[in-house]
Amino acid sequence: MAERPYIVGNWKMNGTRAMLSQARAIDRAAQNLMKVEVALAPPYTLIHPVHREAEQIGVGAQDCHAGNEGAHTGDISAGMVADAGAKFVILGHSERRQDHGESNALVSVKGAAALEAGMRVILCVGESEETRDAGKAENFVTRQLKASIPESLDNPEESLTVAYEPIWAIGTGRTPTVDDIGAMHRAIRATLVERFGEEGGAQVRILYGGSVNPDNARELLAADEVGGALVGGASLTAESFLGIVIAAAELQDQPA
Ligand code: PGA
């Protein structure tokens, strides 16, 4: 696992102000688990309230528009989420790609907007079950990654995290084998090194996402080149999310 693992909760379209107590509990516990970098991406409506609660954890958005401002009813710009307290944006999540037809090109320009607004980007990639069964997963994911990275990005160690999330593992309780995760993360690493050079490419954390829970976290986080986790369902309560954070902290304590 990376020097300091990164565990990010993606609340998706869940959460009202009643959930702020969960965010507070996560934040307080994270203050005693400093070996792990902990963050939450609540829905837009809770970014500022969670930001106000957070003394330790990072707060981010789950998406942003590619433009700065203007006549885009219902959309939210990168500058707006940054103003609300977001320090990063999750982009290219498969639910955005599927539900909103987001292309790699759009994800890439959204990333440029997020960087411009001074935020970090967590870029999601992942293959469908069909693509995996056809033996084309690594090829698909590495091409998706190359085409989704913002062209303007030149300091990857500071501004980029990649999240590998096989679509068939999201919310299903199914996960790839540790060997398959390791193989995919090595392929992603090679792509990052190709794009950013040895030094820059080596420092980007690559998260695994898809049905991570407190019971499987230890095993998944120990896979080759896994620098943390992007967690959906299990991030909705402090208890289960902290179970994952604690697993990451315990792995840090283990001799390599
Ligand atoms: P899950 O979602 O943990 O509920 O599978 C992960 C994600 O979509 O980021």
CA of residue 173 to ligand 1 center, whole Å: 10
Q: Is the CB of 41 under 6 A from ligand 1?
A: no
Q: Atom of ligand 1 at shortest distance to CA of 210?
A: 5
Q: Looking at residue 29, what is its pLDDT?
A: 98
Among the listed residues 43, 67, 68, 40, the one whose alpha carbon sits nearest the alpha carbon of residue 56? 40
Q: Looking at residue 254, what is its pLDDT?
A: 82
- What range does the domain containing 127 cover? 6-253
Q: Looking at residue 3, what is its pLDDT?
A: 81
* CATH (domain of 147): 3.20.20.70
Asked whether residue 32 is assigned to any structural domain, the reply reads yes
Q: Atom of ligand 1 at shortest distance to CA of 95?
A: 8
Q: Looking at residue 256, what is its pLDDT?
A: 62
Cβ partners under 8 Å of residue 137, min gap 6: 127, 131, 166, 184
Q: Which two tokens stand for residue 204?
A: 């980007």
Asked whether residue 160 is assigned to any structural domain, the reply reads yes
- Name beta bridge partners: 123: 91, 162
Asked whether residue 1 is assigned to any structural domain, the reply reads no
Whose CA is closest to atom 3 on ligand 1?
Answer: 232
Asked whether residue 99 is assigned to any structural domain, the reply reads yes
Asked whether residue 134 is assigned to any structural domain, the reply reads yes
Q: Specify the residue for token string 């990857």.
A: 156
Spatial contact of 54 and 64, defined as CB atoms under 8 Å apart: no
CA of residue 129 to ligand 1 center, whole Å: 15
Q: Atom of ligand 1 at shortest distance to CA of 124?
A: 9
Each residue's pLDDT, cut to its tens digit, for the chain (256 residues) gives 558 999 999 999 999 999 999 999 999 999 999 999 999 999 999 999 999 999 999 999 999 999 999 999 999 999 999 999 999 999 999 999 999 999 999 999 999 999 999 999 999 999 999 999 999 999 999 999 999 999 999 999 999 999 999 999 999 999 999 999 999 999 999 999 999 999 999 999 999 999 999 999 999 999 999 999 999 999 999 999 999 999 999 998 886 6
Q: Is the CB of 92 under 6 A from ligand 1?
A: no
Q: Is the CB of 230 under 6 A from ligand 1?
A: yes
CA of residue 73 to ligand 1 center, whole Å: 28
Answer positive or negative: Cα dihedral of 65, 150, 52, 14.
positive
pTM of the model: 0.97
Q: Is the CB of 212 under 6 A from ligand 1?
A: yes
Answer positive or negative: Cα dihedral of 209, 14, 59, 101.
positive
User: CB atoms < 10 A from the CB of 37, how many?
Assistant: 23
Q: Is the CB of 10 under 6 A from ligand 1?
A: yes
Domain count across the chain:
1
Q: Looking at residue 211, what is its pLDDT?
A: 97
Q: Looking at residue 1, what is its pLDDT?
A: 54
Q: Looking at residue 145, what is its pLDDT?
A: 98
Cβ partners under 8 Å of residue 167, min gap 6: 94, 98, 126, 127, 128, 129
Q: Is the CB of 117 under 6 A from ligand 1?
A: no
Q: Atom of ligand 1 at shortest distance to CA of 170?
A: 5
